[in-house]
Chain A
Amino acid sequence: MAKRTFKVVNQSVTKLDAIPLALGKPLFVADFKPADALYAKFLWSPHAHAIIKSIDISAAEKMPGVHCVLYHGNVPRIAHTTAGQGYPEPSPYDTFMFDRKVRYVGDRVAAVAAETLEIAEAALKAIRVEYEILKPVLSIEEALQEGSPVIHDEPEARAIIPVPYEPQKNIAAKVGMDVGNVEQAIAGAAYKLDNSYYIHLAQHCPIEPHVALAHVDAEGRLVIRTSTQVPFHARRITAQVLDIPVRMVRVIKPRIGGGFGVKQEVLIEDVVGMMAWRTRRPVFLMYTREEEFVSSRTRHPERIRVRLGADPEGTLTALSMDCISNTGAYGAHALTVVCNSGSKVLPLYRSANVHFTGTAVYTNLPVGGAYRGYGATQAAFAVESAVDEFAETIGIDPLVFRMNHHIRSGETSPVFAALGEGKAGVQQSIGSCGLDKCIKLGAKAIGWKKRGDWRKKKGRYRRGIGMCCLMQGSSIPEIDMGAASLKMNEDGSFNLLMGATDLGTGSDTVLAQIAAEAIGTTSDKILVYSSDTDMTPFDVGAYASSTTYLTGNAVLDAGLKVKKQILSVAAELLEKKPSELEVRDAQVFAKDGSGSVTFQDVALHSLYAANQFQIAAISSNISHKSPPPFAAHFAEVEIDTETGLIRVVKYVAATDCGTAIHPKLAEGQVEGAVMNGICYALTEQYLFNEKGRMTNDSFLNYKIYSMRDKPEMVTILVPTYEKTGPFGAKSVSEIGINGPCPVIANAIYNAVGVRLRETPFTPEKIWRAMQQH
């Protein structure tokens, strides 16, 4: 690959919002709450599965200071999905603003808007509810049992696209594919593996919980400021649920304090919107941490069976995976998450025979949703654990097995074409792939060569090294669309308006860099505004690892169009042809050295002098492929064999994300994702009592890592150039979280010889497994 030189891209420029964030300026939803805003608060179900026999809101309604009480009897009954996905959504319509039935502890029963939070809380206590308690369904196995209680027995529940949906069997989604004949291949295989894995429930834990502020403006339109990843989907779904036209709703996304997928849900906008609509007062609602745990969204747990077969030479001939995901009480992202368990993991290894099924089941537990990794995290644990086990069965170094089988540049996988999101997938061949180099550099950094067999390890504290390989995607091909608008100002600066959603990831900065590189200026001259459904062009939002790749290409195209206009104006000024000019450092030069004009000269001329017009462009981009970023992760762990206490000593993540537009931010994404993944693997877990109530719904006893827990971490970016991406870029935000579960499982095995197939790897599980050894 020829070395490319960039001026703005591939540089760690100052993050555009760094200074105001560091200074604590008012940037977040809660900062905009006016003094006269009403406080909204939900009444949650105390039961996992029950029918509301009666509900009396009269006492609450009469309380001084109470302005609005909502429940199923006084709102429209419109089946919808909270999943903020492209329309028509692949998630089933099984949710109502309020329903007569509650389906998990923490489901909506009613909501109140009042002058103060205290009045709202008192009003909730004044609501009398009589429940008929139904038998709850608290596991995948119970949900699939013959005669199990049906969680969605309402007639309106339906899929709005042609996909299997069987609520009477508690099945929220089904998907599958077959290439070749896996059964035959396994039957004839010299080496076989058939193991089941379970990966658990967890929460995103954004530091800013769900928060929204709604008011009705002077023209009678509903304006919602909300902490969302999907402003345009939020507008569409809010309008749908309130039964008002989309044009009557404006959604504004200010700065966001983290999302990780949980804010791809339209979770509270409907209720603050309805309350503001009815009271004509501003309404503010912010989840507590307990509500964020119980009543927002989680990672779908999955039970995964992996079967592998290989010929006598150790070449993989069969790759089979059956995933059953637990979507909880509602089917938000049920189909697409389980589908991605196949589509983002199976293509990684070449096999002539591939089998995949994905089933999502309803239970009376907290609701699954989009979560960084989106199904790939779950399946990567199973497949990358299985690959390690299989390599040992064959008698080959697991690193070598992976090297022998992983997909390479120019190759394709039948999985790409078979599995899409609610429809067939898109055939694609791999463009850039730096996985080989990721494996080599990562292995060197962790010291793979010194890795010994667990059987030879002695002493109380034993160390082990594990690895895995990963891929993800960059946007959803032939579905996702992003757009950008650029206009030039008098001083040669530019407004970049986008629906793309910076959640704290730094995408505003990254996209400004792309614009600046395309035009020929610096990123500080790009004034970014995102996102506002009235002001910015459409974008599906921040999910599916799409913003840099998808919106980035729209920005690149808009930048090139603007540059062309700048050249034509400069040509007028310099009395040259555009082809005789070139742009450098916010100036246009005649190639023959006869003269130059600044961007400011160009802008002033175009706005005031002659042939005036606004130098501006708008571009849309739809992706036709989803080029995977690749990664190889390695970890060294230390285990106290007396207690099972485990410590990650060192973690190495080598990632190919194409061109890193902003290397520091890309490294930050990798490190954040890895930390997120390590505590998911080791310490995070939902504890439930027998009635399905979460018992550890706070940061006091739900353990997430802070920087103090960071092990020695080596982050390697392996540059490749993805021809279809803006300046060679692919995605980086999700892939990193998929590594820690399999890497740590593999490292535990290498340390002490026990194979844990259920996450999280608590000290007790490690210790007990060692006792049975």
Chain B
Amino acid sequence: MKITDFKIPTRLDEALALLRVLGPAGLPVAGATSLVFIPEDEPKTAVDLNRIGLDGIRRDNGTFRIGATTRVAALQKHAAPGWVLNRVAQMLASQQIRNESTLGGNICRVFPWADFPAALLALGAVMVLQGETTREVPADEFFSAQPARLFRSGELLTQVCVPALSPGLGFGYRKVRQTATGFSMLTAAALLQLDGATIRSVRAAMSGGVPFPARCPGVEGALAGKKASEGLLREAALNGLAGLKFKEAEGMSTAYIGRLAGVTLGDVLVEAWTQAKEQAS
């Protein structure tokens, strides 16, 4: 990445105006921890988003509204009833990176190893994009391909909205990596809603060992409306991923990553189910 100029707006409208003028030559940055991975040689003007008031976590009824420049470390430290993103944040890279990296940066350009897309897909998060108007994009649309395609000139991701877990809801999350700060070989996340002993719905998603973060419809479909049990959850995870493509990771074959995905998603579903039961009681 070749940065030839650096702008520091202090208001959101100023940042949006700058980006409109710059067009493709403008590059919004906050934590800037991923610049090293972007090989482009085109000169860019960085527009610093750190002083335009986009950071912070606030609760709005049943929803957490997270500013796009909120540091991953802040997500990690945040504690509130129904808050689960600390479990995702604490496994991202190293503390030094978490202190700089932002939620917005982690999801606006999706790297193969990114952690948050799987979690946000499972949670059914909603992304707020602000330009001349404000619009909301659900996670399924946001992550159906590189999100860059969604952004109009002079438009920014300003907020990520995730539900606070209410009784009957449980969240599971696992990231498999070979070293403590290593990239994900496989990340799996699930949100499971119980209705008594019956599974009302499941949202399961995966990233890392797959070409792009994706929901796991085969698994979700096999569970909805069924009476929950550990055996059922693990079996659904092992058998329901046939439609997903896996990719080699760290010298390990696609067949193995597929196996790892099935087992890990099973763990994640059991974790979500356990939490849902605890939340319900």
Contact = CB atoms under 8 A, between A and B. Distances in A.
Interface stretch (A99-107, A185-193, A613-621, A698-706): A698-706
Contacts of B94: 706, 708
Given A687-B251, A763-B252, A764-B256, A703 B179 contact: yes
Which has the most chain A C-beta neighbours within 10 Å: B94, B179, B183, B256?
Answer: B179
Interface stretch (B8-16, B130-138, B258-266): B258-266
A767 interface: yes
A766 to B, nearest CB: 10
Interface string A55-73: 0000000000000000000
Interface in A691-715: 696, 700-701, 703-706, 708-709
Interface in B162-185: 176, 178-183
Contacts of A709: 179-180
Nearest to B177: A703
B253 interface: yes
Interface string B236-261: 00000000000000111100100110
Contact of A768 (B176, B256, B260, B264): B256
A643 B264 contact: yes
Contacts of B264: 643
Interface string B80-124: 000000000000001000000000000000000000000000000
A704 B94 CA distance: 14
A679 interface: yes
A87 B243 CA distance: 63
Contacts of B180: 706, 708-709
B263 A643 contact: yes
A764 B252 contact: yes
B252 A762 contact: yes
Interface in A640-690: 640, 642-643, 645, 679, 682-683, 685, 687
B258 to A, nearest CB: 11
Contact of A767 (B178, B182, B259): B259
Which has the most chain B C-beta neighbours within 10 Å: A640, A642, A705?
Answer: A642
Contacts of B253: 764
Contacts of A679: 179
Contacts of A682: 178
A703 B260 contact: no
A700 B181 CA distance: 10
B179 A763 contact: no
Contact of B256 (A696, A706, A708, A767): A767
Given A700-B183, A703-B182, A706-B180, A762 B251 contact: yes
Contact of B179 (A640, A645, A683, A696): A683
Interface in B155-211: 176, 178-183
Interface in A315-335: none
Contacts of A706: 94, 179-181
Interface size class of chain A, counting residues whose CB lies under 8 Å from the partner chain: 20 to 34
A682 B259 CA distance: 19
A643 B179 contact: no
Interface string A755-773: 0000000111001100000
Contacts of A701: 183, 250
Nearest to A679: B179
Contacts of B181: 706, 708
B271 to A, nearest CB: 14
A640 B251 CA distance: 19
Q: Mostly helix, strand, loop or mixed at chain B's interface?
A: loop
A595 B256 CA distance: 80
A283 B180 CA distance: 39
Given A687-B251, A762-B251, A704 B179 contact: yes
Interface string B17-48: 00000000000000000000000000000000
B251 A643 contact: no
B2 to A, nearest CB: 11
A683 B178 contact: yes
Contacts of A642: 263
A645 B256 contact: no
B100 to A, nearest CB: 17
B185 to A, nearest CB: 9
B178 A703 contact: yes
Contacts of B176: 643, 645
Contacts of A762: 250-252
A705 B182 CA distance: 9
Contacts of B263: 640, 642-643
A322 to B, nearest CB: 27
Nearest to B37: A700
B260 A643 contact: yes
Interface in A741-765: 762-764
A685 B251 contact: yes
Contacts of A764: 251-253, 256
Nearest to A701: B250
Interface in A705-739: 705-706, 708-709
A640 B186 CA distance: 15
Contacts of A683: 178-179, 182, 250
Contacts of A700: 183
A446 B94 CA distance: 30
A762 B176 CA distance: 13
B182 A763 contact: no
B256 A705 contact: no
A676 to B, nearest CB: 13
A365 B40 CA distance: 30
A147 B191 CA distance: 61
Nearest to A642: B263
Which has the most chain B C-beta neighbours within 10 Å: A643, A683, A762?
Answer: A643
Nearest to A771: B259
A43 to B, nearest CB: 19
Contacts of A767: 256, 259
Interface string A630-643: 00000000001011
Interface string B204-245: 000000000000000000000000000000000000000000
A762 B179 CA distance: 12
Contact of A705 (B179, B183, B251): B179
25 contacts: A643-B259, A643-B263, A645-B176, A683-B179, A685-B250, A685-B251, A687-B250, A687-B251, A701-B183, A701-B250, A703-B178, A703-B182, A703-B250, A704-B179, A705-B179, A706-B94, A706-B179, A706-B181, A708-B180, A709-B179, A709-B180, A762-B251, A763-B256, A764-B252, A767-B256
User: What are the 5 A-B residue pairs with the smallest beta carbon separation, nearest first?
Assistant: A708-B180, A764-B256, A764-B252, A683-B178, A642-B263
Given A683-B250, A762-B252, 20 more contacts: A640-B263, A643-B176, A643-B263, A645-B176, A683-B179, A685-B251, A701-B250, A703-B178, A704-B179, A705-B179, A706-B94, A709-B180, A762-B250, A762-B251, A763-B252, A764-B251, A764-B252, A764-B253, A767-B256, A768-B256
